[in-house]
Chains A and B, each alone.
Chain A
Amino acid sequence: MAVCTVYTIQTLNSTCSISKPNKTHLGFHQKQVVFYRTSKKIKKQSTITCTAANEKTVVIGLAADSGCGKSTFMRRLTNVFGGAAEPPKGGNPDSNTLISDMTTVICLDDYHSLDRTGRKKEGVTALDPKANDFDLMYEQVKAIKEGIAVDKPIYNHVSGLLDPPELIKPPKILVIEGLHPMFDQRVRDLLDFSIYLDISNDVKFAWKIQRDMAERGHSLESIKASIEARKPDFDAYIDPQKQYADAVIEVLPTQLIPGDNEGKVLRVRLIMKEGVKYFNPVYLFDEGSTINWIPCGRKLTCSYPGIKFSYGPDTYFGHEVSVLEMDGQFDRLDELIYVESHLSNISTKFYGEVTQQMLKLSDFPGSNNGTGLFQTIVGLKIRDLYEQLIAAKAAAPLQATKA
């Protein structure tokens, strides 16, 4: 049901008013009411566009440590919904927010209560809950979910200071990404879906070497020391969040090459919680069975070390889950369509959509292994979840009027 308000202004030839989405416009998205004047006659003309008032924002949480590919995942996710994600136009150039037509991604570092000098003085890391303002995080995420625009602070990663806030308008889909999206129970309860990127220590080390070795001052020792120093806080505050996630993407060293620690060939596991509303886990061949599949053979030529898939039911922190695993990497993306045709429940709109999505972003990290494949699949599952949630919300008031 759409609820529209028409404002009548008598003296239209004096000033024109454009209503901005403010705290009073519950459930409205963007500018809705525009008045304009026509010549000297006092004639009311108004254009009114309304979005359905029940179209609330869907909130997705993504948790991962820094340098674990959150931004790659975010770009894959926004690409599923179409359109490129860009920082807010004309604002702070160091803003962490990304906005596209459908999605707004906010970085939870913006809710640091202590800036860099503050953390140093207190002797706490950014991973410590003491350095974060969960009350503000809860209030603002709740407000956006209810369709109210908020002034969100900006944590500047270059200067390490909290910059003046920026206005965040309620999008169709809000993604909160960072270290603690599932830490506070109030924030956790606001999430419609949650994802945790779990990168094993060996792979994290290999990735950080690739990322930082070119950087001045960095050495193997400094990278190792940085990981070691943050580990106690990571284990205490970040890692436990994975038990609450609806989907976990686990990245491990390969088992196909004995003793490999380069972090180039990966074993990636997609752990999907059972019984989550609007989320049907993906399966391979037969739902609920335990299957090992090596797609290489007469129909598909693979080079060393090949590809190996596994699928099966499991338990994860006492929850029933389905696990899909891929070890190895694709040499050519046309292999992927062969794999895609054997997966079910991937929420595609047409045959080959996963492959097409992967081809579109073929220069992104992880496009030739399970990280890119599973991130794309999770993106499609989120689209499916969003569409079902919106459909359910539209149907709910309809049923109420019938009764």
Chain B
Amino acid sequence: VRPVAAAPEKISEKVEESIKSAEEKCSEDPVSGECAAAWDEVEELSAAASHARDKKKDSDPLETFCKDNPETDECRTYDN
């Protein structure tokens, strides 16, 4: 079985957690390396979440179906 990429919902939770921990880290020392690294993690996860969302949005239900079932009536296409 092929592994499946992480679902957007799971990343969303991680984004939320990372924001909380970044806010905590930066309340101690707002100009430290730890603070910057924590916000960098937020950025990385936000980007991953938005990419996962885009991927999900792109998928057309009929096209996804036709990838697996090219022989069905609704999917058959002939070049000529």
Are A222's CB and B23's CB within 8 A? yes
Are B33's CB and A124's CB within 8 A? yes
Chain A: interface residue count, which band?
35 or more
Are B43's CB and A222's CB within 8 A? no
Quick one: CB contact mask for A347-387 with B, threshold 8 Å, 1 for yes?
A: 00000000000000000000000000000000000000000
Quick one: CB contact mask for A208-223 with B, threshold 8 Å, 1 for yes?
A: 1001100111100010
Interface check A335, CB cutoff 8 A: no
Which A residue sits closest to B47, measured CB to CB?
A: A66
Q: In the complex, A122→B4 CA distance in Å?
A: 32
Q: In the complex, A159→B45 CA distance in Å?
A: 9
Q: In the complex, A160→B11 CA distance in Å?
A: 12
Interface residues of B in 27-57 (CB under 8 A from A): 32-51
Contacts A93-B4, A217-B15 given; does A232 touch B36 at CB 8 Å = yes
Contacts A66-B47, A71-B51 given; does A217 touch B36 at CB 8 Å = no
Contacts A158-B11, A215-B12, A222-B23 given; does A93 touch B40 at CB 8 Å = no
Q: Quote the shortest CB–CB distance from A123 to chain B (angstroms).
A: 3
Q: Which B residues are in CB contact (< 8 Å) with A216?
A: 12-13, 15-16
Are A226's CB and B15's CB within 8 A? no
Are B6's CB and A229's CB within 8 A? no
Interface check B66, CB cutoff 8 A: no
Interface check A44, CB cutoff 8 A: no
Q: In the complex, A230→B20 CA distance in Å?
A: 17
Are A123's CB and B36's CB within 8 A? yes
Q: Quote the shortest CB–CB distance from B45 to chain A (angstroms).
A: 8
Interface check A157, CB cutoff 8 A: yes
Contacts A93-B5, A94-B6, A217-B20 given; does A229 touch B39 at CB 8 Å = yes
Q: Which A residues are in CB contact (< 8 Å) with B40?
A: 119, 125-127, 229-230
Q: Quote the shortest CB–CB distance from B4 to chain A (angstroms).
A: 6
Q: Which A residues are in CB contact (< 8 Å) with B36?
A: 123-125, 229-230, 232-233
Are B37's CB and A123's CB within 8 A? yes
Q: Which B residues are in CB contact (< 8 Å) with A211?
A: 46, 50
Q: In the complex, A216→B50 CA distance in Å?
A: 12
Interface check B76, CB cutoff 8 A: no
Q: How many residues of B contact A (CB 8 A)?
A: 38
Interface check B61, CB cutoff 8 A: no
Are A157's CB and B15's CB within 8 A? no
Q: What does DSSP make chain B's interface, helix, strand, loop or mixed? A: helix
Which A residue sits closest to B48, measured CB to CB?
A: A157
Interface check A90, CB cutoff 8 A: yes
Q: Which A residues are in CB contact (< 8 Å) with B15?
A: 215-218
Are A215's CB and B5's CB within 8 A? no
Q: Which B residues are in CB contact (< 8 Å) with A228?
A: 39
Are A217's CB and B16's CB within 8 A? yes
Interface check A225, CB cutoff 8 A: yes
Q: In the complex, A230→B43 CA distance in Å?
A: 9
Are B50's CB and A226's CB within 8 A? no
Which B residue sits closest to A67, measured CB to CB?
A: B47
Q: Quote the shortest CB–CB distance from A378 to chain B (angstroms).
A: 22
Q: Quote the shortest CB–CB distance from B58 to chain A (angstroms).
A: 9
Interface residues of A in 54-75 (CB under 8 A from B): 66-67, 71
> Which of B17, B26, B50 gathers most chain A CB within 10 Å?
B50
Q: Quote the shortest CB–CB distance from B62 to chain A (angstroms).
A: 17
Interface check A319, CB cutoff 8 A: no
Are A215's CB and B49's CB within 8 A? yes
Which B residue sits closest to A211, measured CB to CB?
A: B50
Q: In the complex, A124→B41 CA distance in Å?
A: 11
Q: Which B residues are in CB contact (< 8 Å) with A43?
A: none
Interface check A393, CB cutoff 8 A: no
Q: Quote the shortest CB–CB distance from A238 to chain B (angstroms).
A: 12
The 7 closest A-B pairs by CB, nearest first: A123-B33, A217-B16, A229-B39, A93-B5, A125-B40, A157-B48, A158-B6
Q: Could you give 22 example pairs across A and B, Cβ below 8 Å?
A: A66-B44, A67-B46, A67-B50, A90-B2, A93-B2, A93-B4, A119-B37, A125-B40, A126-B40, A157-B45, A158-B48, A211-B50, A212-B46, A215-B12, A215-B46, A216-B16, A222-B42, A225-B22, A228-B39, A229-B39, A230-B36, A230-B39
B residues with CB within 8 A of A = 2-6, 10-17, 19-20, 22-23, 26, 32-51
